[in-house]
């Protein structure tokens, strides 16, 4: 079993829909990252959080440490949001610099 | 503009050859990382460096080598000992355990 599991693996939605991507992990963590990878391959860091909730524009990330679960929400989705969204965790046992990555959720927004 | 650059974008290697992938950052970050991405898998850590002239093996260091002679530069050499080097390689940097900044990636293909 992978230490970081994302769901769904693939998600297709209509423009304007509210999107939720989930990430579950099995180890104690010190931080969780949400990343966005565009078709060309470049990766952008969206959020790093260790508790509660963060918001940036139409993106919202939440984390529940007790349940070992995080969600990434996109409001008023747009075709330019189409990308692979990756969850990664920094474990308390891994050392400060190592992240364990999920395999990503491929999101496609149809106009 | 601050950021991370990687070159080349595409690289072709003949079997038995060593090749070097370049990674440069002007963000004044202390930590730099090399990741490998294969289809259907999460990113995997090859090497990381937290300070000049020091680096640590990641999860899949066999067949790779790095150097960190300057804060700005962290080149990765893929040696002939790496049996399956075809992959997408991503360089990243961060400041003291904060969010990762990623380069655009190098796609390496063995001919």
Q: What is the pLDDT of residues B12-69, one digit of tens each?
A: 988 889 999 999 999 999 999 999 999 888 899 999 999 999 999 999 999 999 999 9
Write out chain A residues lying below 8 Å of B104, CB-based.
40-42
Structure confidence at residue A74 (pLDDT)? 98
* Three-class DSSP labels, B18-67: CEEEEEEECCCCCEEEEEEECCCCCCEEEEEEEECCEEEECCCCCCEEEC
Report the residue of chain A nearest B58, measured CA to CA.
Answer: A98
Tell me A41's DSSP state.
Answer: S
A98/B100 Cβ within 8 A: no
Tens-place pLDDT, residues A20-46: 999 999 988 889 999 999 988 899 999
Mutation for testing the A interface, residue in B3, B38, B43 having most A CBs under 10 Å: B43
- In this prediction, residues B1-9 reach a mean pLDDT of 88
CA pair distance A10, A19, nearest whole angstrom: 12
Q: Span A92-107, mean pLDDT?
A: 82
Residue A95 has pLDDT above 60, yes or no: no
- Predicted pLDDT at B75: 98
The reply to whether residue A86 touches residue B43, judged by beta carbons under 8 angstroms, is yes
Determine the distance in angstroms separating the CA of B92 from the nearest CA of chain A, rounded to an integer: 9
Q: What pLDDT sits at residue A26?
A: 92
Contact B88 A98 (CB under 8 A): no
pLDDT value at A14 more than 60: yes
The H or E element spanning position B81 is none
- Chain B residue with CA closest to A47: the answer is B99
Mutation for testing the B interface, residue in A2, A10, A43 having most B CBs under 10 Å: A43
Q: What is the pLDDT of residues B58-101, one digit of tens each?
A: 999 999 999 999 999 999 999 988 889 999 999 999 987 788 99
Structure tokens at B42: 């999460």
CA of A88, closest CA in chain B: separation in Å?
Answer: 9
Residues of B in contact with A4 (CB under 8 A): 42
CA distance A94 to A73: 28
* Beta carbons of B105 and A88 less than 8 Å apart: no
Task: State residue B111's pLDDT score.
Answer: 85
Q: What is the pLDDT of residue A28?
A: 86
Contact A48 B98 (CB under 8 A): yes
Q: Which of A51-60, A70-79, B79-88 shows the lowest per-residue confidence on average (mean pLDDT)?
A: B79-88
Check pLDDT > 60 for residue A94. Answer: no
Instruction: Say whether the peptide bond before residue B8 is cis (omega within 30 degrees of 0).
Output: yes
CA distances (Å), B110 to each of B17, B21, B23, B78, in order? Answer: 9, 14, 20, 11
Q: Does the pLDDT value for residue A91 go beyond 90?
A: no
pLDDT of residue A97: 72
Confidence check: pLDDT of B1 > 70: no
């Amino acid at each position: 079993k992978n230490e970081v599991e994302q769901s769904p693996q693939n998600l297709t939605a209509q423009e304007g829909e509210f999107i939720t991507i989930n990430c579950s992990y099995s180890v104690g963590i010190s931080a969780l990252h949400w990343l966005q990878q565009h078709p060309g391959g470049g990766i952008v860091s969206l959020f790093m959080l260790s508790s509660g909730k963060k918001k940036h524009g139409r993106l919202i990330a939440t984390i529940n440490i007790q349940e070992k679960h995080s969600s990434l929400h996109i409001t008023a989705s747009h075709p330019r949001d189409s990308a692979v969204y990756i969850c990664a965790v920094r474990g308390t046992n891994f050392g400060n610099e190592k992240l364990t990555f999920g395999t990503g959720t491929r999101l496609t927004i149809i106009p | 503009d601050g950021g991370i650059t990687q070159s080349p974008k595409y690289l072709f290697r003949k079997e038995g050859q060593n090749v070097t992938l370049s990674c440069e950052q002007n963000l004044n970050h202390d930590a730099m990382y090399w990741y490998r991405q294969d289809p259907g898998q999460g990113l995997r850590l090859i090497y990381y460096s937290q300070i000049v002239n020091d680096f640590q093996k990641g999860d899949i260091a066999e067949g790779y080598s790095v150097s960190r002679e300057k804060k700005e530069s962290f080149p990765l050499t893929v040696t002939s000992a790496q049996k399956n080097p075809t992959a997408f390689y991503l360089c990243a940097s961060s400041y003291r355990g904060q969010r990762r900044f990623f380069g655009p990636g190098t796609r390496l293909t063995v001919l």
